Structure 1
Amino acid sequence: MPSTRTLLQALLLGVGSCAANPLVASNSGPEVETRTLEEIHQAALKEGGIVTLWHGGDETTQQNTLKQAFEARFPGMTLNSTVDLSKYHDAALDEQLANNNVYVDSIILQTVQDYPRWNEEGALLQYAPLGFNEVAPAYKDSLGATYYGVAINGWKFIVNTNKSNVALNEWEDFLNPELKDKLVLTYPNDDDAVLWAFDLILERYGTGFFDRLLAQNPRWVRGTATPSTILRQANSTYAATFTSGGGFVSSNGVNFTLPTQGPFVTWAQTAAILKDAPHPEGAKLLHGFLLSTEWQQPRGWSVRRDVPLPANFPFGELDDNKNTNAGAFMPFMVDRARVGRLKDWLESKIGTPQGLSPLKDGI
């Protein structure tokens, strides 16, 4: 039965008892998928051939590649994907649950602290999709199978060498005088994954590093795709960032690197199917596709343990890199008191997020 709590209760309860153990398991076992993708495809077509996906992001076109690939792979299917900031998607989903009016099938969000709460409330489908057994334990609710990582995201060091010849190998390189007035960074008090990067920086290098970073006069923007876009613009003088993902193959003078000694952010973008999804077979098909080797392998680091890296991937195996821990993102996100304190401290230094919203206004 759908949750009967009010929207206000949803907003006030937060993560509740899940804070101690974010990977909370359900009491009963999940449905384990045994069909092939082709068999699920046929079931999804009989259901209507539609999947409604809410995906976290900050530009409306960010999931166009997924939509095109999914619809080409499974003729007759339509993937209706809506991209918005995860913090807005999760509030809107709480409203659906409070009103017993679920019309979304699948969610893939950065706000991973909400998955354990939704799991406890019984809002998520207990379902282990194809490929679930190969997903690393750190990225999934391994017993209940209600939520699991489907992609590894992370922030890279990015520099446009047409605008700066500074090599970015460690965090200290961003303090190079040549990068003064040339850094563009996402507000950390507007995005929790960016906030985590600053948490790691402050823990490793202290507030002195942050003060020196501020002395570089960075431009603060909203959205994590925004810095990468700006430093590529021909009429822009901004040259470098560490709050965007981008690709992994350098091109057109834009280079991607990672620190060899300092920490950096990676995390598993997490997915779930709503228990009352109107198109559960379509959602099962989508999640099986997302965890398939054909989708995972070309994208670099995989949530699956059995997927090799692409031949041209420059960064090596994620598990071999001691400077990042993608599984530590959820514990950070669940600790909302720590997140709130850090946001408040940073806001006292750089102010509230200002400027254009990439989803609504462009750059």
Structure 2
Amino acid sequence: MLSRRTLTKLALATPLAALTIRYAAAQVGTSSGTAPVAPETRSLDELHKVALAEGGNLIVYGGGDLPNGAAGMEAAFMKRFHGMKIRILIDRSKYQGVRIDNQLSLDRLQCDAVHILAGHYYDRWKAGNHLLPYKPAGWEEVYPDFRDPDATSVAVAVYAFSTLINTNQLSRADAPRDAIDFLNPKLRGKIALTYPQDDDSILYQFDRIVTQHGWEFVDKLMSQDVLWNRGSGVTRQRIEKGERSASFTTSGPLVPNPNQPTAFLLPTTDSFLSWAHPAAIFRRARNPEAAKLYLSWLLSPEIQGARRQWSVRRDMPAPEGLEPIIAYNSYPVHFRDFLRDRGRLEQFRDQLEQYIGPMQGTNPTNVVGIFPEG
């Protein structure tokens, strides 16, 4: 009988051809037998006019771990669509999902749309008929496995976690690329990481590492005097500020920012974490037309073609010097499957905490309550 470690290694070794077959299979029909939804044909300007007539307001719940982490996105949306007002409330995905569940049960849904990491919540909301089927403009160009066949959700961004270094403290030549490199004694006291028991994306990274290297890796990592943080954004800030030199549990700019002394580096041989970030509109949305405008804008060439990150669209080029996300040994769909197996996930999380210890610190977003927007 194959062990769990062997099975997972086989899954990670899935060739790109097999993944492409999954993409193709996702294009055939819908899973629920419901009437097909036609893709959006209105232009962004036409959607803008309808959204203004509706009232011009929009509330979105987004996933993240920095206070007001979507302020730039809010400003860009309101600059592009004059007269619109938008609030993108950022909080940890695990808190946003529970918050929305509570609001739905109380019939007092606050947000119109959502984009959080916790994909298993979308499964539940879809099963409960809470999501509004909608195919934003650009839907047909989205990788088929990045969208729900019944149009209840669609990925609007691709995020990735890999090595991030402070280039003032560590050269690219000396930078750790693969997980095992972080055990180098020269990096003792120079590593910042995010608590994996606090974030399913980080937990997935550790699951893959333990599968490949065993629990011995975690045991040795604990001797590296790691600076642990609540939130990948907090970890990134510590690297940017030079408080620590390297991390593998945060994101970074695919295109280097000349104003930041950091570099985001892909592994030499290891796979790395990436995921297709899903978005959805609720049937009970008070501003459904504004939500449709927002999702269509997020999928538009204006956003997806900016080449600052990998696109969810097949027709948009990758950032300069990189290939499309599906060309790498990352396989975003594997992370989605990991999120759905909550029993296994929770068991691994509890095991990992025995090595790392309980989390220290408060939720960095400072968002509290079931109805944080009043």
Shift of 1:26: 6.0
2:155 maps to 1:146: no
Q: Deviations over 1:100-129 (max 9, x none)?
A: 222311100111111011101100001111
Query: Which letter does structure 1 place at the counterpart of 2:294?
Result: L
Query: Which letter does structure 2 place at the counterpart of 1:196?
Result: Y
Aligned residue number for residue 10 of structure 2: none
2:314 maps to 1:305: yes
Shift of 1:280: 0.4
2:93 maps to 1:86: yes
The one of 254, 262, 271 aligned to 2:270: 262
2:45 maps to 1:38: yes
Distance in 1, matches of 2:362 and 2:187, equals: 24
Distance in 1, matches of 2:177 and 2:93, equals: 31
Identity %: 37
Distance 1:31 1:352, change over 3 A: farther
Distance in 2, matches of 1:156 and 1:75, equals: 37
The one of 194, 197, 220 aligned to 1:212: 220
Distance in 2, matches of 1:47 and 1:31, equals: 22
The one of 253, 266, 270 aligned to 1:247: 253
The one of 184, 190, 208 aligned to 1:182: 190
Shift of 1:246: 1.8
Q: Deviations over 1:119-161 (max 9, x none)?
A: 011000011111111111111112x100111000110201113
Distance in 1, matches of 2:141 and 2:251, equals: 25
The one of 151, 161, 165 aligned to 1:155: 161
Distance 1:206 1:315, change over 3 A: farther
Q: Deviations over 1:145-196 (max 9, x none)?
A: 0011100011020111322343223222211211101111000000001111
Matched residue SS, 2:119? coil
CA contact 1:181–1:217 (8 Å) conserved in 2: yes
Aligned residue number for residue 111 of structure 1: 118
2:244 maps to 1:197: no
Distance in 2, matches of 1:190 and 1:335, equals: 17
CA contact 2:251–2:264 (8 Å) conserved in 1: no
The one of 46, 62, 70 aligned to 2:69: 62
Residues paired across the two proteins, number:
334
Distance in 2, matches of 1:211 and 1:289, equals: 46
Query: Which letter does structure 2 place at the counterpart of 1:28?
Result: A
Aligned residue number for residue 325 of structure 1: 331
Matched residue SS, 1:54? strand
Report the TM-score, using the length of structure 1 for normalisation.
0.88
Shift of 1:81: 1.1
Matched residue SS, 1:29? coil
The one of 333, 338, 348 aligned to 2:354: 348
Aligned residue number for residue 10 of structure 1: none
Aligned residue number for residue 280 of structure 1: 288
Shift of 1:32: 3.1
CA contact 2:91–2:365 (8 Å) conserved in 1: yes
Unaligned 5+ segments in structure 1 are: 1-20
Distance in 1, matches of 2:59 and 2:102, equals: 17
Aligned residue number for residue 240 of structure 2: 232
Shift of 1:211: 1.8
